[in-house]
Structure 1
Amino acid sequence: MKGILIAILVMGALLAASVWVSVSVWTSMDGGEIAFSMSWHGWLALTLGVVLTTALGIGLMALVFHSSRSGHDDLDDDA
């Protein structure tokens, strides 16, 4: 149990460090102003793209698990 807690803390620290570096690089390149000047069409397209891509990934992974558990991926010995 202690090993899992240490792993979670290490992964959390790596996540925080990567977010900090990403924000630092983004703001040092004057990218911070560009993101906030996007029109609502841009934000809508970005949001729909993220949501639909995530939904597609979740749906495809669900099909993979369903196919694996229902026996569709098993070899057919009669062929």
Structure 2
Amino acid sequence: MQRLGRGQAAILVTLVLLLALTVVLAATGWNSAESVQMTSAGWLAMGFGIFFSLLIGCGLMALMFYSSRSGYDEAADPFRDPRENASDGPRRPTDRPDHTIP
């Protein structure tokens, strides 16, 4: 296992502290709203919001996987032979003898 460098450790500590701060603020906000009563219309609106947020999120993820597996996400490359096997993976410009880097 590779050891973390100073920069990586600093980023990790910062992210953990931000997560802890977020949890504390969420708990404080949740506990401060104890006396607030939500009507049935509020519960219904919250339920619809959660449902449609999940529906849109799942739909977009499904489209992303479909697009990725269908080859629609391939980068445009005017130098690539269209008959080239896609399973070879993307080629770097230096892999082609007819292409020079300025």
Q: TM-score range by the shorter chain?
A: 0.5 to 0.7
Pick aligned residue for 2:23 from 19, 25, 35 = 19
In 2, distance between residues paired with 1:61 and 1:22?
A: 27
Which fold has the larger relative contact order, with Cα–Cα distance below 8 Å and residues 6 or more apart in sequence? Answer: 1
Normalised to the residue count of structure 2, the TM-score between the two structures is 0.47
**Corresponding pairs, count:** 67
1:43-62 per-position Cα deviation (integer Å, ceiling 9, x unaligned): 01101111111110111111
**Deviation of residue 24 (structure 1)?**
1.5
Structure 2 counterpart of 1:61 = 61
Kindly, what percent of the aligned residue pairs are identical? 41
Q: Give the helix-richer structure, 1 or 2.
A: 1
- Bigger Rg, which one: 2
| Structure 2: gaps spanning 5 or more residues | 2-11, 83-102
Runs of 4+ in 1 over 6 A off after TM superposition: 11-14
CA distance in 2, matches of 1:51, 1:66: 22
TM-score, normalised via structure 1 length: 0.57
CA distance in 2, matches of 1:72, 1:45: 37
